Amino acid sequence: MVKRRQIGKLLIANRGEIALRIIRSAKTLGIRTVAVFSEADAKSLHVAAADEAICIGPPEASKSYLNSEVIIAAARTTGADAIHPGYGFLSERPEFARAVAEAGLVFVGPPAEVMAALGDKLAGRRIAREAGVPMVPGAESASPADIRAFAAREGYPILIKASAGGGGRGMRIVGNDSELEVALEAGSREAKAAFGDGRVFVEKYLARPRHVEVQILGDAHGNLIALGERDCSIQRRYQKIIEESPAPGLSDSTRARMLDAALALGRAVGYLSAGTVEFLVDGDKFYFLEVNTRLQVEHPVTELRFGCDLVAEQLRIASGERVSEVGAPVGAAIECRINAEDAANNFRPAAGTVLHLATPAGPGVRFDSHLEAGLEVGSHYDSLLGKLITFGASREQARRRMVVALGEFALLGVMNTAGFLRDIVASEPFARADLSTHFLEEFFPRWHPAQSDGIEAAMVAAAMVASGAFGTRNGRPAAPAAAAGPATTARRSPWDELSGFELWRPR
């Protein structure tokens, strides 16, 4: 029998947009919410949105959002009976899931053992292989003869990788037989120098792979469903920045086989809650990458197509309920991650105070964000400011809505990637869905705002500011932050934000 445990009060062990996102779903289910916050986040929107809030330590993540003991103690103090970890921070740490369960609380996510098994790279690959999930073809042997046989079977190019490796060191792309021996030697030498271990192995090289992942959802009653796929190929340094569903151009048969593979893997481990099985896709072939045992940042694109609430599903599953019935997916959805980075300057991290904010709206537009006027964006946590998601009957409608929505976005005070994202989404390669994980290197290698993007308008406005004719109030610097000292750690009432906002209302 499945144990049912009604969740009455939920502690959200996270911050930023995802904490706010989880609070919203909990409220719709009638669950009371407890926010936790570091001293740097005292004024953050998730703190004001929750029914209760508790400070868990100084700004450093290691002393606050990663401090499992303090978080579990906060749950006890506030009488919460469940903890949702969000993504990042403690969300994929089996020892945290275990500690939560041992404290008699419900962990909203898969059991610690499932998380541990899938979190270990090698163990995860073994489970996937045994479940019949395709792996990138490879040869364990490093003898030139064996590798030649492998290459004859799979075709060049092939990739030499260090067994102990990571970070690209010891990696060599080999295009044909004649290059092989020299590359093997060099790769082994480099691996030896970098890792003290010269062992190498060989994989088929995927020249222009796509990153496609499958959303799965399992309950304690043995139900496991796959909620379509997401294409997350547009990445920068392995960080996804644009995600969409469905994956454009994926054939129905390939899609069906991917969903089946993800379900087989989920069934093999008795997967519970929301999870994502990631694949590399090369034409109509796909290969296992890894499993993320948590809610993904990009989960809203799935929600818009299926008309579901994945956080609510997680909460239902955690309290012993069955997953909801979901219909067939409709339309297309795209998500853009707006980050606090200066896209024109090598994506340098940006910080500052939100002086003015304009957020998009309209049909099929959703903005998941903790941004508001007065928010101080610092350097303690990741750079995600918000996720803009658009939905349309077709990919092209969703894409056009995204171009328009990004055009409505304006954030003064923190340099961000919105303009860069609009250029990408408006571009011809994106419109024709020429997607691969090399998309940005291929089409946007050194991005700068184009002349048409308002540089003249900005220059004139800057000169007006510099001459005191604009951007100031009664001759004083206009920015409230200019007068503010170091970030205050005292918790302020939400009404303080309103008075700060007043300053920015046009007269």
Partner 1 sequence: MKLRRVGDGGEFEVDILATEGSTVHARVDGIDFSVSFERIGDNAAIVTVNGRRYRVFGAALRDRILVTAGPMGFEFARVEEGRSQSAKGLATPELCAPMPGKVLRILVKEGDEVEAGAGLLVLEAMKMETTLYAETPARVNRVLVEEGQMVDHGAVMIELSPAHAPSHSESGPPG
Pairing mode, strands 52-57 and 32-38: parallel
Burial string for 377-412 (b: 16+ CB within 10 Å, else e) reads beebbbbbbbbbbbbbeebebbbbbbbbbbeebebb
Q: Which is nearer to partner 1, 148 or 380 (CB)?
A: 380
Query: Least Å distance between CB 432 and partner 1?
Result: 23
Query: Considering the complex, what minimum distance in angstroms separates the CB of residue 258 from partner 1?
Result: 31
Quick note: the x/- pattern for partner 1 over 354-373, rule CB under 8 A, is -xx-x---------------
Q: Is 412 in the site for partner 1 (CB under 8 A)?
A: yes
Question: Whole-angstrom Cα distance, residue 256 to residue 252?
Answer: 6
Cβ at position 438, least distance to partner 1 in Å:
21
Amino acid at position 488, single letter: T
Binders of partner 1 among residues 385 to 404 (CB under 8 A) are none
Q: What angle do CA 229, 268, 81 make, to 5 degrees?
A: 80
State the number of CA atoms in the 13 A half-sphere of 392 facing the CB: 16
**Contact criterion met (CB below 8 Å) for 351 and 416:** no
> Residue 106 carries which DSSP code?
E
Q: Which is nearer to partner 1, 327 or 486 (CB)?
A: 486
- Which one of 126, 153, 348, 432 is in contact with partner 1 (CB under 8 A)? 348
**379 in contact with partner 1 (CB under 8 A):** yes
**CB neighbours of 213 closer than 8 A, spacing ≥ 6?**
229, 230, 232, 276, 277, 278, 279, 292, 296
Smallest distance from partner 1 to CB 498, Å: 18
For the question of residue 98 being annotated catalytic, the response is: no
CA–CA dist 276, 314 (Å, integer) = 13
**# of chain residues touching partner 1 (CB under 8 A):** 66
Shortest reach from residue 7's CB to partner 1, in Å:
31
- Please identify, using beta-carbon distances, which residue of 381 and 391 lies nearer to partner 1: 381
CB 232 within 8 A of CB 302: no
Q: Which range touches partner 1 (CB under 8 A), out of 106-114, 122-130, 267-275, 381-389?
A: 381-389
Q: State both tokens at 137.
A: 């073809």
Alpha-carbon span 183 to 124, nearest angstrom: 29
DSSP 291-340: EE-S--TTHHHHHHHHT--HHHHHHHHHTTPPPPP-----SEEEEEEEES
Nearer to partner 1, 443 or 504 (CB): 504
Residue from 220, 161, 224 nearest 195 by CA: 161
Interacting residue with partner 1 among 14, 383, 390, 437 (CB under 8 A):
383
CB of 354 to partner 1, least distance (A): 11
Q: Which is nearer to partner 1, 57 or 124 (CB)?
A: 57
Q: Which is nearer to partner 1, 60 or 185 (CB)?
A: 60
**Segment near partner 1 (CB under 8 A); pick from 97-105, 199-207, 277-285, 338-346:** 338-346
* Residues 432 to 491 in contact with partner 1, rule: CB under 8 A: 448-449, 452-467, 469-473, 477-479, 481-482
Angstrom distance (rounded) from CA 330 to CA 391: 10
**Cβ at position 398, least distance to partner 1 in Å:** 18
**Single-letter code of the amino acid located at 219:** D
Q: Which of 172, 236, 294, 395 is catalytic?
A: 294
C-beta of 178 vs 346, nearer to partner 1? 346
Per rule CB under 8 A, is residue 413 in the interface with partner 1?
A: yes
Q: How far apart are CA 170 and CA 479, in angstroms?
A: 50
Residues that bind partner 1 (CB under 8 A): 340, 342, 344-346, 348-352, 355-356, 358, 378-383, 406-416, 418-419, 421-422, 448-449, 452-467, 469-473, 477-479, 481-482, 504-507
Active site residues per annotation: 294
